[in-house]
């Protein structure tokens, strides 16, 4: 589908999608962005003092937990649904759209002056069971462009930043372009990515449109492959004038089992190239999996915090980071994901607040990075 001329020719600034506009929308109603934050200031305050936002993903069911909802409102000025804007939840049956969960989260964000993010419009995962076959048999891209128009259109002006395409790269699939061999690619070719962004831009020309993925954070050779493929994708999109404004770096780390540690030197170089492309950065899903760690909470927490700090240092130095979101605010809701180890099962401790909403060393590492 040919995109209308204007969506390809509109430079980012002309869309009104300037960093200040995005952050003003997200931090609106909060304290003045100027001025340093006091020592025990919440993360949202520290972020706003730098013209940024801090937030977390949440499930709408969690908002029924009053003390959690209060902690979220206190710490965050950005919010993203963990589930409620995935197509498996929004469109369980063809053409039957359910926004009840997303509406609850968008309303909460609006009530608390938070930047609301949408996650995610086109992904190979978290789709309803009918979608893959429908896409493979579809006669054109409307199977996803119509969906994007409906979803982005519904939240126009309220969801200010979208993960339009999620995880389109997987270099181990062996393609020269490093793209993941998913059903979208098989039916529509690599152009499905540009088409999705064009559709999102038409539905809300003022929204920040983000390409979200993992794989560029670490020090392994496969991370080098991911960084090369990611930069190739981003550069191509910029050259074609695709309305894509930021790279979403998921930032899922592992501290002990099959460790994934940040490589500061390679991150600095990668983020400098992202900056040279005129793109912004969203840290979109930060967490540090502590499965397989020592039995002592304090030791696990210290290592999780150290990895967090080693990642955020080059991120903040890049000068292009508008947002840091963790993939959850508290360990409380990880309870159902007890990870058995060879010694014993324990509750994961991968997020800034513990299950009793107390600030952990990871919280302090984020607070220090935000200043």
Separation of alpha carbons 19 and 244, rounded Å: 14
Find how far residue 261's CA is from the centre of its chain: 19
- Say which residue the tokens 């994934």 belong to: 260
Find the shortest distance in angstroms from Cβ 214 to ligand XIL: 7
Residues ≥6 apart with Cβ < 8 Å to 178: 169, 170, 171, 225, 226, 228, 229, 230, 232, 233
Nearest distance from C-beta of residue 285 to ligand XIL, angstroms: 6
Judged by CB under 6 A, the chain residues 182 through 241 that form the site for ligand XIL are none
Question: Is residue 309 a contact partner of residue 300, using CB atoms and an 8 Å limit?
Answer: no
- CB-wise, 1 or 125, nearer to ligand XIL? 125
Of 166 and 201, the one with the shorter C-beta distance to ligand XIL is: 166
The residue among 12 and 197 lying less far from ligand XIL, judged by its C-beta, is: 197
# binding residues, ligand XIL (CB under 6 A): 5
Query: For residues 352 and 365, is the Cβ–Cβ distance under 8 A?
Result: no
Spatial CB neighbours of 119, under 8 Å, sequence gap ≥ 6: 57, 80, 81, 85, 86, 162, 163, 166, 212, 284
The whole-angstrom separation of Cα 326 and Cα 250 is 9
Q: Taking CB under 6 A as the criterion, which residues in 50-89 touch ligand XIL?
A: 82
Nearer to ligand XIL, 126 or 219 (CB): 126
DSSP reduced 3-state for 188:
helix
Query: From the CB of 351, what's the least distance to ligand XIL, in Å?
Result: 12
Which of 127, 195, 208, 250: binder of ligand XIL (CB under 6 A)? 250
At closest approach, how far in Å is the CB of 327 from ligand XIL? Answer: 6
x/- string (CB under 6 A) for ligand XIL, residues 335-364?
------------------------------
Q: Distance (Å, rounded) from C-alpha 224 to C-alpha 340?
A: 32
| Cβ distance to ligand XIL smaller for residue 75 or 285 | 285
Least Å from the CB of residue 183 to ligand XIL: 17
Under 8 Å between Cβ of 207 and 152: yes
Min CB(119)–ligand XIL separation in Å:
6
Residue 255 contacts residue 300 (beta carbons within 8 Å):
yes
Measured from the CB atom, is 15 or 166 closer to ligand XIL? 166
Which one of 7, 77, 166, 330 is in contact with ligand XIL (CB under 6 A)? Answer: 166
Residues 126-165 that bind ligand XIL (CB under 6 A): 126
Cα(233)–Cα(193) distance, integer angstroms? 10
Question: 244 with 194: CB under 8 angstroms?
Answer: no
| Cβ partners under 8 Å of residue 17, min gap 6 | 206, 207, 208, 245
* Residue 44 C-beta: closest distance to ligand XIL, Å: 22
Q: How far is the CB of 11 from ligand XIL (least distance, A)?
A: 28
Q: Residue 40: how many CB atoms within 10 A of its CB?
A: 8
User: Smaller CB distance to ligand XIL: residue 7 or 166?
Assistant: 166
Nearer to ligand XIL, 89 or 115 (CB): 89
Q: Is the Cβ of residue 82 or residue 331 nearer to ligand XIL in the bound state?
A: 82
| Inter-helix orientation angle 361-370/297-318, to 10° | 20
CB of 126 to ligand XIL, least distance (A): 6
Phi and psi at 308, nearest 5°, equal -60, -45
The site for ligand XIL (CB under 6 A) is made up of 82, 126, 166, 250, 285
């Amino acid at each position: 589908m040919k995109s209308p001329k204007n969506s390809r020719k509109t430079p980012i600034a002309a869309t009104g999608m300037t960093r200040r506009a995005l952050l003003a929308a997200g931090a609106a109603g909060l304290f003045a962005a100027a001025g340093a934050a006091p020592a025990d200031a919440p993360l949202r305050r520290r972020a706003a003092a730098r013209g940024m936002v801090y937030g977390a993903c949440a499930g709408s069911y969690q908002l029924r937990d009053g003390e959690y909802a209060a902690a979220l409102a206190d710490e965050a000025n950005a919010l993203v649904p963990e589930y409620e804007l995935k197509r498996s939840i929004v469109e369980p049956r063809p053409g039957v759209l359910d926004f009840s969960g997303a509406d609850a989260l968008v309303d909460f964000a609006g009530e608390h002056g938070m930047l609301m993010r949408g996650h995610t419009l086109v992904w190979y995962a978290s789709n309803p069971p009918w979608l893959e076959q429908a896409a493979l048999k579809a006669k054109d891209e409307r199977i996803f462009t119509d969906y994007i128009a409906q979803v982005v259109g519904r939240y126009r002006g309220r969801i200010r930043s979208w993960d339009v395409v999620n995880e389109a790269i997987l270099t181990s699939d062996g393609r020269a372009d490093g793209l993941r061999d998913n059903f979208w690619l098989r039916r529509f070719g690599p152009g499905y990515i540009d088409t999705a962004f064009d559709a999102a831009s038409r539905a809300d020309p003022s929204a920040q449109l983000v390409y979200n993925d993992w794989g560029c954070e670490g020090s392994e050779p496969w991370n080098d492959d991911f960084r090369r493929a990611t930069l190739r994708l981003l550069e191509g999109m910029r050259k074609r004038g695709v309305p894509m404004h930021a790279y979403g770096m998921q930032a899922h780390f592992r501290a002990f089992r099959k460790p994934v540690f940040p490589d500061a030197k390679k991150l600095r170089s990668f983020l400098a190239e992202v900056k040279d492309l005129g793109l912004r950065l969203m840290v979109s899903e930060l967490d540090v999996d502590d499965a397989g760690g020592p039995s002592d909470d304090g030791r696990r927490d210290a290592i999780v915090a150290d990895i967090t700090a080693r990642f955020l240092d080059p991120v903040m130095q890049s000068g292009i980071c508008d947002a840091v979101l963790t993939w959850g605010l508290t360990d409380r809701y990880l309870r159902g994901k007890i990870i058995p180890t060879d010694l014993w099962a324990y509750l994961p401790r991968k997020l800034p607040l513990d299950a009793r909403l107390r600030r952990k060393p990871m919280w302090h590492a984020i607070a220090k990075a935000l200043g």
